[in-house]
A and B are shown apart, each in its own frame.
Chain A
Amino acid sequence: MSIQKEIKWKRLPLSTNYAVAYAVKDLDVDVVAAYPITPQTTVVEKISEFIANGELDAEMIHVESEHSALSATVGASAAGARAFTATASQGLELMHEILHIASGLRMPVVMSVATRALSAPISIWNDYSDLMNARDASWVTLIVASAQEAYDTIVQAYKIAESPDVMLPVMVAYDGYIMSHTYEPVLVPEDPSIVLEFAPKNYNRLRLDPDRPMTFGTIANPDWYYEFKYQQVVAMKNAYRKAIEVDKEFGKVFGRSYGILETCCLDDADVVVLTYGGLYGTFLEAIRKMRENGVKVGAARLRLWRPFPAEDVVRELGGAKMLVVVDRAISYGAQISGPVAMEVMNAFYGDPDAPSIMSVVVGIGQRTVTSYTVREIVDYAFRVLERGRVPRETLYWGVRGVKYE
Chain B
Amino acid sequence: MAEEKLPAWNELPPGAVVIEPGNMAERYTGDWRVFRPVINQEKCIRCLLCWVYCPDDAFSIVEEPYVTQKGRKYKFSLKIDYNHCKGCGICVEECPVKAIDFVEEVK
Report the Cα distance A167→B17, complex, angstroms. 13
Confirm or deny: A54 has a beta carbon within 8 angstroms of a beta carbon on chain B: no
Report the Cα distance A215→B17, complex, angstroms. 6
Confirm or deny: A4 has a beta carbon within 8 angstroms of a beta carbon on chain B: no
Report the Cα distance A213→B22, complex, angstroms. 9
Chain B residues, CB < 8 A from A214: 17-19, 21
Chain B residues, CB < 8 A from A220: 16
Confirm or deny: A206 has a beta carbon within 8 angstroms of a beta carbon on chain B: yes
Task: Point out the residue from B8, B14, B21 that lies within 8 Å of A206, measured CB to CB.
Answer: B14
Contact check, A231 vs B18: say whether CB atoms are below 8 A apart.
no
Report the Cα distance A223→B9, complex, angstroms. 11
Task: Point out the residue from A107, A167, A228 that lies within 8 Å of B16, measured CB to CB.
Answer: A228
Chain A residues, CB < 8 A from B15: 104-107, 167, 206, 216, 228
Confirm or deny: A218 has a beta carbon within 8 angstroms of a beta carbon on chain B: yes
Report the Cα distance A224→B18, complex, angstroms. 13
Q: Total contacts A to B, CB within 8 angstroms?
A: 50
Q: How many residues of B contact A (CB 8 A)?
A: 14
Contact check, A227 vs B13: say whether CB atoms are below 8 A apart.
no
Contact check, B12 vs A228: say whether CB atoms are below 8 A apart.
yes
**Residues 70-111 of A at the B interface (beta carbon under 8 Å):** 104-107
Confirm or deny: B2 has a beta carbon within 8 angstroms of a beta carbon on chain A: no
Chain B residues, CB < 8 A from A228: 9, 12, 14-16
Interface residues on A, range: 20 to 34
Task: Point out the residue from A104, A206, A213, A224 that lies within 8 Å of B6, measured CB to CB.
Answer: A224
Contact with B along A200-227 (1 / 0, CB 8 A): 0000001000000111101010011001
Confirm or deny: A404 has a beta carbon within 8 angstroms of a beta carbon on chain B: no
Report the Cα distance A216→B7, complex, angstroms. 19
For residue B84, give the distance in angstroms from its CB to the closest CB of chain A: 18
Contact check, A227 vs B17: say whether CB atoms are below 8 A apart.
no
**Residues 1-47 of B at the A interface (beta carbon under 8 Å):** 6-10, 12-19, 21
Contact check, A230 vs B14: say whether CB atoms are below 8 A apart.
no
Contact check, A227 vs B9: say whether CB atoms are below 8 A apart.
yes
For residue A236, give the distance in angstroms from its CB to the closest CB of chain B: 13
Task: Point out the residue from B10, B14, B16, B21 that lies within 8 Å of A224, measured CB to CB.
Answer: B16
Report the Cα distance A223→B18, complex, angstroms. 16
B residues near A, CB below 8 A? 6-10, 12-19, 21
For this complex, 15 residue pairs linking A to B, each with C-beta atoms less than 8 Å apart, are A104-B15, A206-B13, A206-B17, A214-B17, A214-B18, A214-B19, A215-B18, A220-B16, A223-B6, A227-B8, A228-B12, A228-B14, A231-B10, A231-B12, A234-B9
A residues near B, CB below 8 A? 104-107, 167, 206, 213-216, 218, 220, 223-224, 227-228, 230-231, 234-235
